[in-house]
């Protein structure tokens, strides 16, 4: 079946450090891949997405590349800020049917210290 596995948190970094959050997936067909961010007490916001192999999604300094050969969609940022502290979820779209459902990883909590 379809699934998403992302690295366990929490991840604690100093401001301006490099960030990588690993995400791998299992899916039939050709899903789209997403990163969502959840700030404390809020809902999820779409951070970036990629719809086909080799696509790179980017937003707010974050990037992730859809790697079909390694079934990965790792999230990266070159220099994190305190305001990036949040929980990050990797997700894929459920292939087929009309449900358009997303399958989420368990989330990775990021804390950035000044």
Partner 1 sequence: SQTIHQWPATLVQPVGSPLSLECTVEGTSNPNLYWYRQAAGRGLQLLFYSVGIGQISSEVPQNLSASRPQDRQFILSSKKLLLSDSGFYLCAWSGQARNTEAFFGQGTRLTVV
Q: How far is the CB of 79 from partner 1 (least distance, A)?
A: 26
Q: How far is the CB of 2 from partner 1 (least distance, A)?
A: 12
24 near partner 1, judged by CB under 8 A: no
| Sites for partner 1 among residues 44-83 (CB under 8 A) | 44-46, 49, 51
Q: 72-75: long-range contacts at Cβ-Cβ below 8 A with a sequence spacing of 24 or more?
A: 72/22, 72/23, 72/24, 72/25, 73/23, 73/24, 73/25, 73/33, 73/35, 74/20, 74/21, 74/22, 74/23, 75/19, 75/20, 75/21, 75/23, 75/35, 75/47
Cβ nearer to partner 1, comparing 14 with 60 = 60
32 near partner 1, judged by CB under 8 A: yes
Please report, as ranges, the residues that interact with partner 1 according to CB under 8 A. Answer: 30-32, 34, 36, 41-46, 49, 51, 89, 93, 95-96, 98-102, 104-107
């Amino acid at each position: 079946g379809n699934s998403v596995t992302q690295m366990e948190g929490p991840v604690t970094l100093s401001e301006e450090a490099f960030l990588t959050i690993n995400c791998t997936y299992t899916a039939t067909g050709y899903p789209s891949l997403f990163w969502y961010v959840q700030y404390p007490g809020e809902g999820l916001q779409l951070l970036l997405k990629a719809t086909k192999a080799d696509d790179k999604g980017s937003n707010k300094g974050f990037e992730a590349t859809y790697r079909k050969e390694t079934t990965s969609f790792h999230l990266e940022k070159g220099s994190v800020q305190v305001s990036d502290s949040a929980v990050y979820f990797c997700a894929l779209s459920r292939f087929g049917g009309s449900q358009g459902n997303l399958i989420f990883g368990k989330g990775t909590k990021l804390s950035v210290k000044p």
